[in-house]
Amino acid sequence: MSAPRLARLAAADFFERSRSVGFLVMLVSGVWAANVFLPPNGAHYATLQVANHRALYSSGYTGLLVALLTTLFFGLAGFYLVKDAVDRDRRTRVGDVLAATRLGSPTYLLAKAFSNFLVLASLTAVLAVSAGVLQMVRGEDMILRPLELLAPFVWITLPYMAVVAAIAVLFECVPFLRGGFGNVVWFALWIAGIAIGSQAGERSGVTYRDAAGMGLVVPQIVAATKTAFPADTVKSHDVSIGVNVREGEWRLTTFAWRGVSWTTRLIAARAGWFAIAALLVLLAALPFDRFDAARRFAGPWRRTRAPAADPAPVIRGDGGTAAGEAVIVGAPAAMLLDARPATRGSGFAGLVLAEIRLALRGLPRIWGLVALGLAIAALLAPLTGVKMVVAPIAWVWPLLVWSQLGTRDARTGTAGLFDSSPRPLARQIPAAWLAGVAVAAVTGGTIGARLMIAGDAAGALACAAGVLAVPAFALACGSLSGTSRLFEALYLVIWYLGVANHVPAVDFSGASVPDGAFRTAMTFAIALVASLVVAGWARSRRLAR
Amino acid sequence: MLVIESVSKRYPGGVQALRDFSLTLGPGVLGLLGPNGAGKSTLMRILATTTRASSGRVTWEGADVAREPDRVREVLGYLPQDFGVYPNLNAIEFLEYLAAAKGLEPRAARRRIDGLLELVNLTADRKRPLGGFSGGMRQRVGIAQALLNDPRLLIVDEPTAGLDPEERVRFRHLLHDLAGERVVILSTHIVSDVEAVANRIALIAGGRLVTEGEPEALLRGLEGNVWEWTVPAAALDDLRRRHLVSSAARRGDGVQVRVVAGGAPGDGARPAAPTLEEVYLHAIAAQRAGVA
């Protein structure tokens, strides 16, 4: 394994990914995010406060704040952004060529992970530069200290991004984590990692349980606040990191602080995550199938198939005849084919049923049994249990069915077949959406029915809005991106905030107070229309090509 | 020398793609012909070390390719079926990427890439993103990548798919010129491709080797079994039901047919010189009849 060869492989892979509109959009979103991460005093939200205090926007603190939030949010999203490096080679069959070379699996996977890291590091660099500019714009401390500004990005964000890049490769190599199930697992891992990491620092200061580095810096932030406000009894749990919205303006008292003191011990602990990332990639080489379908074992969501048969025989236009063309000795085609034209009708119900069958095909039987069990539990369990336990499961259980909506043609290369059929926009978009709605009606819809029976009309309305809007949102995401990852990433965030934590604006489970439920229903009704318009637009754009 | 000994391949799920397949190959072009699902691509993948045989053995110059895959990878050029590209890279960048994967030294690789792009007629388009290439142009990039390391074993699976007639002829000439001391395996459905370049032909069906040999020998084996004459158009359907009709062409006085049969299939039928296509059709039909 030579470093120059690794670099050449990673660089080419990075160029392939970076020369796209999507990559530019990602970088621009980084600039926007940096602006959001650094709110001026008096904004309606705060992003890092200790009780009612925060440090002035010095270079060190600005860098720390933006680096922490980049780690938090772009660490989550970054996984979904980069988890395609190996699969792209599988889809394009470039992997078949690579598998026939002397390129070893560890070298190949390290190159892919490095390319993932370069994508995430580019984004981090954009946020770091934006942070410097924004420090000047906010104008609380006009002295720019580049090293203090950049250190948190280097020692907090980049090691975490290396781990994310490695985990993305690892997940692509483990058959049952390769698809949507892996995307859900990553979301759960991310939440668990942040929760464990943020507590880790209280006990040990430097810990290998804290990949995101939250627990590492929280004690220093608390200590700086205590120094600035000795009369306050400030503790670690007073530190709030995230986007904390409130009705009125946040007026936080500020204090001067130049940021984290980077000791050798801290730096060594953070640098260790690069080594852990490399180990994760080497670990990925064990289950990696080297693009050999026969070495892949079936995961819970996929069935292994033999490679596609050789292509159908063809008759060449230049007189060359394809082998097998005339081999069949039997009845002429005219006798086998019915010459009468097929009866034409709208057949829309049939199309919806076909979409439902396709959406559910390949799922294990246990999936259907659990969905049925959730529907029964929604109708029979105590109402509190339905809201607190059944609803969160019921609204995440069909995730992998919804996330396939709008992506099938891109995955299977059947766009030409469907686009050439009658009224593709007017029939196929509604049919796919209704298939998703049918699934949502079984899991989430029964919760709405239960709320209605219990007299909670607002909750039932919110549920109904969710049943209609979530599949539409999935269809829009799938049609736009051609992959399931966009919906899986965005929906999990909405689900986590709304259904799991009952943030009223996005709680479509009906568990919020009536006022909130009405507002949610309205929000989701708008989202429904917008999603269907976006899905239709994405499809019409494809048709226009 | 490439030796394939009793190779079988069974995929998870029970699909038996190859059964007890044996063949020994020396320098020259082997044309591998077979119908849908015959096992051609599976055999290509086993030889290219991208999948392993369930049983049996493949050796390259004495080395077992399953145990020492790098021995064959070092000298292998492989163009898989349905070859794809990275759409945002240009031809040079993409080939440099694959050259790195093959372990070629960068400067030598660049010189080789320039020559190969010239060879496949892509020099003028070398800096255009591959996403804008036609199917035929992408296939030519695929051919170029297969030749990057100047392979001694060249495996090409359906290489002329997507090429226009002129490009196909050019590629046939290229394969012919390349053969020399190399072992070239050309898997295809197109009999005329094999006819033009192969000095040896293997027919595969149902995962088994049906027959193999030099084209001349295969043609000689079918002599006396191909018949040609003109029949009324109305009689064609009946003829197709009873015999293996290899071609039918309308004439002013009826339909001129060619039939593969052991004896004269009708009044006026006269013996004709067999073609490779008829050798293929006859062998596959016989194999199917044997299986049935």
Q: Judged by CB atoms within 8 Å, which residues 83-102 of A form the interface with B? A: 88, 91-94, 96-102
CA end-to-end span of chain B: 35
Tell if the CB–CB gap between B103 and A312 is shorter than 8 Å.
no
A-B Cβ pairs (cutoff 8 Å, strict): 199
Tell me the residues of chain A between 290 and 309 that have a Cβ less than 8 Å away from chain B: 290-298, 303-307, 309
Is B11–A307 a contact, with Cβ atoms under 8 angstroms apart?
yes
Region at B64 (left for phi over 0; alpha for psi -120 to 50; beta for the rest): beta
Chain B residues inside the 8 Å CB shell of A305: 11, 13
Task: Identify the residue among A21, A329, A335, A337 best suited for mutation to test binding to B, counting B beta carbons within 10 A and taking the highest.
Answer: A329
Q: Which of B219, B236, B262 is the last residue of a domain?
A: B219
* Residues B137 and B209 grouped into a single domain: yes
Three-state DSSP class for residue A484: coil
Out of A296, A310, A332, the one facing B36 most closely (by C-beta) is A310
C-beta separation of A176 from A481 below 8 A: no
**Residue A544 touches chain B, beta carbons under 8 Å:** no
Q: What is the structure's pLDDT at A422?
A: 66
The DSSP string of chain B is: -EEEEEEEEE-TTS-EEEEEEEEEE-SEEEEEE--TTSSHHHHHHHHTTSS--SEEEEEETTEETTT-HHHHHTTEEEE-TT----TTSBHHHHHHHHHHHTT--HHHHHHHHHHHHHHTT-GGGTTSBGGG--HHHHHHHHHHHHTTT--SEEEEESTTTT--HHHHHHHHHHHHHHHTTSEEEEEESBHHHHHHH-SEEEEEETTEEEEEE-HHHHHHHHTTSEEEEEE-GGGHHHHHHHSEEEEEEEETTEEEEEEE-SS--STT-EE----HHHHHHHHHHHHHHHH-
- Whether B50 and B193 map to the same domain: the answer is yes
Q: How far is residue B79's CA from residue B188's CA, in Å, rounded to a whole number? A: 12
Asked if residue B189 and residue B113 are part of one domain, the reply reads: yes
Question: Hey, is the C-beta of A315 within 8 angstroms of any chain B C-beta?
Answer: no
Q: Does the beta carbon of A19 lie under 8 angstroms from any beta carbon of chain B?
A: yes
My answer on whether B152 and B231 are in the same domain is no
- Burial tier of B153 (Cβ tally within 10 Å: 0-12, 13-18, 19+): buried
Tell whether A9 is within 8 A of chain B (Cβ). yes
Low-confidence ranges of chain B (pLDDT < 70): 291-292
Res A283: pLDDT? 97
A310 shares contact with chain B (CB less than 8 Å): yes
**B40, B173: one domain:** yes
Which ipTM score applies to this complex? Answer: 0.80
From A94, A314, A316, residue closest to B84, measured CB to CB: A94
Q: Which of residues 263-292 of A touch B (CB under 8 A)?
A: 290-292
Helix, strand, or coil (residue A387): helix
Q: Which residues pair with B10 in a beta bridge?
A: B16
pLDDT in the model for residue A543: 67
Q: Longest C-alpha distance within chain A, in Å?
A: 97
The pLDDT of residue A513 is 65
CA distance A121 to chain B (A): 20
Nearest CA in chain B to A21: B88
Write down the residue that tokens 């990548």 correspond to.
B145
Q: Model confidence over A469-501: pLDDT tens digits?
A: 999 999 999 998 888 888 988 898 888 888 887
Domain count for chain B: 2
CATH of the domain at B197: 3.40.50.300
Report which DSSP code applies to A321.
B
Among the partner-chain residues A108, A293, A316, the one whose CB lies closest to the CB of B190 is A316
Contact A336/B at CB under 8 A:
no
Residues sharing a CB contact under 8 Å with residue B204, sequence separation 6 or more, in sequence order: B21, B32, B33, B34, B38, B39, B40, B43, B210
Extract the residue ranges of chain A whose pLDDT is less than 50: 202, 297-339, 341-342
Q: Is residue A235 a contact partner of residue A202, using CB atoms and an 8 Å limit?
A: no
Taking contacts as CB-CB distances below 8 angstroms, the residues of chain A near B237 are 331-332, 335
Domain boundary pick from B219, B238, B264: B219
* Paired sense of beta strands B270-271 and B226-231, if any: antiparallel
Are B136 and B274 found together in one domain? no
A77 vs A79: CA distance, rounded Å: 5
Is B135 exposed, middle or buried (CB count within 10 Å of its CB: 0-12, 13-18, 19+)? exposed
Q: Measured between CA atoms, how close is B12 to chain A, in angstroms?
A: 6
A231 touches chain B (CB under 8 A): no
Determine the residue of chain A that is closest to B187 in CA distance: A310
pLDDT of residue A447: 94
Domain enclosing residue B78, as ranges = 2-219
| B251/B274 same-domain check | yes
Distance from CA of A8 to the nearest CA of B (A): 7
Q: What is the pLDDT, as a whole number, of residue A318?
A: 36
Q: Which of B51, B130, B172, B236 to mutate to test the interface with A (most CBs of A within 10 A)?
A: B51
Q: Do residues B132 and B99 share a domain?
A: yes
* pTM score: 0.80
Q: What's the number of CA atoms in the CB half-sphere (13 Å) around residue A517?
A: 19
- B82 and B11 assigned to the same domain: yes
Q: Are the CB atoms for A99 and B49 separated by under 8 Å?
A: yes
What per-residue confidence (pLDDT) applies to A362?
A: 77
DSSP A73: I
Q: With contacts defined as CB-CB under 8 Å, which chain B residues touch A291?
A: 50
Distance separating alpha carbons of residues B41 and B22, to the nearest angstrom: 16
Give the chain B residue nearest A13 (alpha carbons): B97
Measured between its terminal Cα atoms, the distance across chain A in Å is: 43
Specify the 3-state DSSP secondary structure of A16: helix
* pLDDT for the residue B85: 87
* pLDDT of res. A519: 77
Q: Which residue of B has its CA nearest to A6?
A: B100
Residue pLDDT, tens place only, B213-245: 999 999 999 999 999 999 999 999 999 999 999
Enclosing H/E stretch for A8: helix A3-18
* Residue B183 and residue B237 in one domain: no
Checking DSSP bridges between strand B183-188 and strand B153-157, what pairing results, if any? Answer: parallel
Instruction: Looking at the structure, tell me whether residues B143 and B249 fall in a common domain.
Output: no
* End residue of a domain, out of B164, B189, B219: B219
In the block, tokens 């097929």 appear at: A342
Nearest C-alpha neighbor of B202 from the set B181, B217, B223, B220? B217
Residue B163 has a pLDDT of 80
Q: B165 near B196, Cβ under 8 Å?
A: no
- Does B156 share its domain with B116? yes
User: C-alpha A190: how far from its chain's center?
Assistant: 11
- Option in B15, B74, B82 nearest A306 (CB): B15
Q: Which residue of B has its CA nearest to A304?
A: B12
